[in-house]
Chains A and B, each alone.
Chain A
Amino acid sequence: DAGVIQSPRHEVTEMGQEVTLRCKPISGHNSLFWYRQTMMRGLELLIYFNNNVPIDDSGMPEDRFSAKMPNASFSTLKIQPSEPRDSAVYFCASRSSDGSNQPQHFGDGTRLSIL
């Protein structure tokens, strides 16, 4: 049973470059969440979708960040242009449509380093 799949697992790029992170949620899950984890700020919710529709993007730090979910099996988080302070581990999580008390299932993250 495949879990949440994120790609790439690691990304190293120079500041100013565009970065695209990808996520494939668990099949049948209708909620998708993007998080960022750093030592300084811990785990932060950036944006989440229900049924492919963005519900709350209040956690997106700046206009340089954007997220899309074109269909139920794919989402992207894009940073353009990237800055060194964007360096973090980015997680995607999905949740079943069986009820809000269902746990979120996390991917193994993308470790992003902006030089």
Chain B
Amino acid sequence: AQSVAQPEDQVNVAEGNPLTVKCTYSVSGNPYLFWYVQYPNRGLQFLLKYITGDNLVKGSYGFEAEFNKSQTSFHLKKPSALVSDSALYFCAVLPSYNTDKLIFGTGTRLQVFP
């Protein structure tokens, strides 16, 4: 079955420290990969995507993600966390065999402490 896993329900990090939110996927072919962020009482907002090319993708608000084909991972990273980064983060995969239906992970809540 095609799936996306976000193994951590919650990630806690101190402000100023680097953060990583993990994502692995099990999808055949060469999928497109996305990260979204959701703030309270808001819809999901697009952060970044990997389609092809350089394995390190840079996105909004200083976030970046590293695509690793051998490990089928697409971890979200930021060198220095801000309290305002506290939110719910979703990894999503678009399979090459159906490029309409995003497969979402269950989400990881990031809490950045002052």
- Chain A residues packing against B (C-beta within 8 Å): 4, 31, 42-43, 45, 48, 50, 55-56, 91, 93, 100-101, 103-109, 111
Contact = CB atoms under 8 A, between A and B. Distances in A.
Contact of A91 (B44, B49, B100): B44
Nearest to A55: B100
A55 B98 CA distance: 12
B4 to A, nearest CB: 11
Given A45-B101, A45-B102, A101-B94, A107 B32 contact: no
Main secondary structure of the interface of A (DSSP, over half): strand
B104 A48 contact: no
B67 interface: no
Contacts of B90: 43
B99 A56 contact: no
Interface centre among B32, B94, B100 (most CB of A within 10 A): B100
Contacts of A48: 100-101
B45 interface: yes
B49 A106 contact: no
A73 B41 CA distance: 24
Given A42-B107, A43-B90, A100-B94, A105 B46 contact: yes
Contact of B104 (A43, A100, A108): A43
B101 to A, nearest CB: 6
Nearest to A58: B101
A103 B46 contact: yes
23 contacts: A4-B43, A43-B44, A43-B90, A43-B107, A48-B100, A48-B101, A55-B100, A91-B43, A93-B43, A93-B44, A100-B32, A100-B94, A100-B99, A101-B51, A101-B94, A103-B34, A104-B46, A105-B46, A107-B43, A108-B43, A109-B42, A109-B43, A111-B41
